[in-house]
Amino acid sequence: MSDLGELLRKARDQHGLTLDDIQETTKIRKRYLEAIESGDHTVLPGPFYVRAFVKNYSEAVGLDPDEVLRLYQHEVPAAVEQIAEPLVVRSPRKVKSQSSERLGKIGFSVVMWSFLILIVVVIWVYVINKDTDGPKQVDNSTNITEASEPPVKNEGGSAVTPTKEPVTPTPTEAPTTVVFGSKVGKSDQYNIGPAGKVHKVEVKVTGGRSWLEVRVGSNQGEKLFSANAEDGTTETFDLNGTLYINVGRADLIEIKVDGVLVPDGDRATSKKLLLQPITNDASTSGATVTPSNDANQTE
């Protein structure tokens, strides 16, 4: 087994994936994946496919494909660019005949006369309809003014205008905010506002299978979900404290807080996030909120 194949196999085992899982994610045949792990590139169709398959394999197991190709360039053949000679295309000659020119003039004349006739017909129809329209009758049943209540008289006999009680406006709830706070280890921390509200976190898998892990506080906290989530999986959680989320393919995962999208880079690589509810409304301006001790230990 080559060094490159050993690296890919270890990354696959760390994510708990099989070759069948990689085949389903990358659409690469299993025998080609086995050839890459064993270092037998003669089985693959050609040098171009070796680089393309290694890149897709690396993305599926959460590795940086460009870094993998750079470190193991001695094992991966260089890409060969084929330069195709440009073909000289001659523009077709335009052949005009006297008959075609005559037909063109006749067609143009027909179109112009048809347009003039259409204008005359439209004007004639408009004049006829205008003359036949009779005067519109006024609807006398409509009240000129709206009915109003008579003024109330007091004991002295003077009229007192009734007053209406002021309507108290219903307070509106502050919208949810998702603001990047800081980098905590390998995790991106986002401050979730406003304070004093129990937020709803929704994690949805779209487009394929991806590793999904959700814990309370940090990567060592209480496990809420940990599995290879299938396409279409949707999980919801209450954000009462710090929430740790680890995904294998960020491009297949969509994370929302109260319907507000959390930016995760949308790349075919792994991503770690910390969702931290703020405790002070002033933190929504972008100031960093100090995470809990468990969050500081996140890798």
Give the residue with greater pLDDT, 66 vs 97.
Answer: 66
Boundary-marking domain end, from 25, 45, 71: 71
| Residue 161: predicted pLDDT | 62
Asked whether residue 63 is assigned to any structural domain, the reply reads yes
CB 24 within 8 A of CB 12: no
Asked whether residue 204 is assigned to any structural domain, the reply reads yes
List the domain range (segments joined by +) for residue 14.
Answer: 3-71
Please state the domain count of the chain. 2
Asked whether residue 299 is assigned to any structural domain, the reply reads no
DSSP string, 59-103: HHTT--HHHHHHHTTTTSPPP-PPPPPPPP-PPPPP---HHHHHH
Boundary-marking domain end, from 19, 51, 71: 71
Asked whether residue 109 is assigned to any structural domain, the reply reads no
What is the amino acid identity at position 69? Answer: L
Asked whether residue 215 is assigned to any structural domain, the reply reads yes
User: Nearest-CA neighbor of 163 among 174, 171, 173, 151?
Assistant: 151
Q: pTM of the prediction? A: 0.41
For 58, the enclosing helix (H) or strand (E) is helix 47-60
Boundary-marking domain end, from 71, 88, 116: 71
Asked whether residue 290 is assigned to any structural domain, the reply reads no
Asked whether residue 202 is assigned to any structural domain, the reply reads yes
* CATH number for the domain harbouring residue 31: 1.10.260.40
Q: What digits encode the pLDDT tens for the residues 177-234?
A: 999 989 998 899 989 988 878 889 899 999 889 999 999 989 989 999 999 999 999 9
Asked whether residue 280 is assigned to any structural domain, the reply reads yes
Structure tokens at 143: 């009240």
Q: What digits encode the pLDDT tens for the residues 97-139?
A: 566 777 888 988 999 999 999 999 999 999 888 766 555 554 5
Q: What digits encode the pLDDT tens for the residues 49-58?
A: 888 888 898 8
